Structure 1
């Protein structure tokens, strides 16, 4: 029941409110991720083995536009078609594009990338897919669709993450050291069942779909967050989302410790810590049609 209403909402309304809230939470995390990891993302876009500067770019699974805006910044003459299944995230992206004077260089398309029939995305010079392909149940079909759409000499860039970032030191929090890893172990088991391609080596998958790998690069991320308010907010938003998935499997004492970290009024709040960091890995594959 929505506690702000005196009567239970119809199931469809409850579901709609839950999806809207979930989209807002996800949008916050994606925007914070983009802000914290902007330098690393810029190094990836600079590394891409492009023969010419792309003018037509497609961002698959664009979310709130992390890749879209990084690519627009890197390639001032380019236009981006941003594709996502979420209408709410696309609306968020359009608002950001308008606020930054980029609306004329961005087109949004709502589409399910697992669908066998994609909308016409033109003949792009660069297709970018960051942290999106592992969500697909049939990535092989999606890869072949990209191969067929790419302009001659075009590049397909696949960026995937080893896992959600870690923020706390191993000996934290006091009394329940290793709490963050136990939370991730629970969510990893759940995600392995629903997203079997998470953490996959996309090189062989790209080759099987008719691509030639032009380059592969792994970036180790270790950002000191002791003086960054943004890292604290990123950690808070990320651990709140992890709590939703891990709560039922956590030991009661772990859940209590986690809730203390997430309580912004608590003296144990994660926002009060000066030992936070952002630790993760991201790998990018650059491929051309064989």
Structure 2
């Protein structure tokens, strides 16, 4: 889910906003590329009784879930919902390039405001979007009202920001990534209070029947994939933008070496990167 800020005024603000959106889009695209197998394993696990025909992807970003769901359910149409017009435009371009334009409808909407008309889906998918909602309990109730009876709601949430560096790295500042994670956790606790919520309990409280919960562990070790390097670079750049003020001068200096693609210490020059993270999936039915 992306919350596109509505900037008015200076060209600088527009450029800053466009840059933020581009950075986020790049991370979402790399996430889809690097974790494609894991996302496919999630869609394969979903306890869907008949092949889904009408699917809604809430907070679709640039389409990671949309395209995984189109592949998993070949007869389905997906309505992709996001607050960012830029992300939706990218998603539409990808759909056209892959010959899927006739199976995708995009809806730009702020899900904290007026709930859009989404038809009668038999599957609703929300990946890494619910924790952004101002009132997720309200969102869960609205999803339940939108689903057809017997329809399934799949909630996917990140257990933590991915880790990329091996233990003891970087050699000149061991533990840097742990300190970055501690800083982002403090930031999220303050600004995203619903991150890490017990979505199983929330789904039950909203009237759903919980059908399953699964933790997907991602462990890609010592990858020489260029995509993993770019994913690490983009993710840590984004992290720096959020937590720079909370870091020591020494940590910030070493982080900047990692992020400097011209530096001998650049993260892109390492051959020991990995991707370690967890995603939790809940499948809940409207009964």
TM category, shorter = over 0.9
Q: Distance in 2 between matches of 1:49 and 1:55?
A: 14
Match of 1:133 in 2: 130
SS in 2 for 1:49: coil
1:260 paired with 2:267, answer: no
The CA deviation string for residues 115-166 of structure 1, in whole angstroms up to 9 with x for no partner, is 1x21110000100000000001100110000001101211000000111100
Q: Does 1:236 align with 2:272?
A: no
Q: Among 19, 30, 33, which residue is 2:31 paired with?
A: 33
> Which of residues 194, 204, 219 in structure 2 aligns to 1:222?
219
Which secondary structure does the structure 1 equivalent of 2:49 belong to?
A: coil
TM-score by length of 1: 0.94
Other-structure match for 2:106: 108
Equivalent residue number for residue 119 of structure 2: 122
Alignment-derived partner of residue 66 in structure 2:
68
> Structure 2 CA distance, aligned partners of 1:65 and 1:226?
25
For the aligned residue pairs, the C-alpha RMSD in angstroms reads: 1.1
User: Which of the residues 268, 278, 283 maps onto 2:280?
Assistant: 283
Q: Structure 2 unaligned runs (5+)?
A: 1-7
1:166 alignment partner, SS class:
coil
Looking at structure 2, the residues matched to 122 and 225 of structure 1 have their Cα atoms a distance apart, in angstroms, of 45
Aligned equivalents of 2:283, 2:172: Cα separation in 1: 45
- What TM-score comes out, normalization by structure 2 length? 0.95
Gaps of 5+ in 1: 1-9
In structure 1, C-alpha distance between the alignment counterparts of 2:130 and 2:222, rounded to whole Å: 29
Shift of residue 204, structure 1, vs aligned partner: 0.5
How far off is 1:225 after superposition? Answer: 4.0
| Distance of 1:181 and 1:269 partners within structure 2 | 18
Matched, 1:189 2:186: yes
1:176 corresponds in structure 2 to 173
Conservation of the 8 A alpha-carbon contact between 1:147 and 1:211:
yes
Tell me how far 1:271 sits from its aligned partner. Answer: 0.7
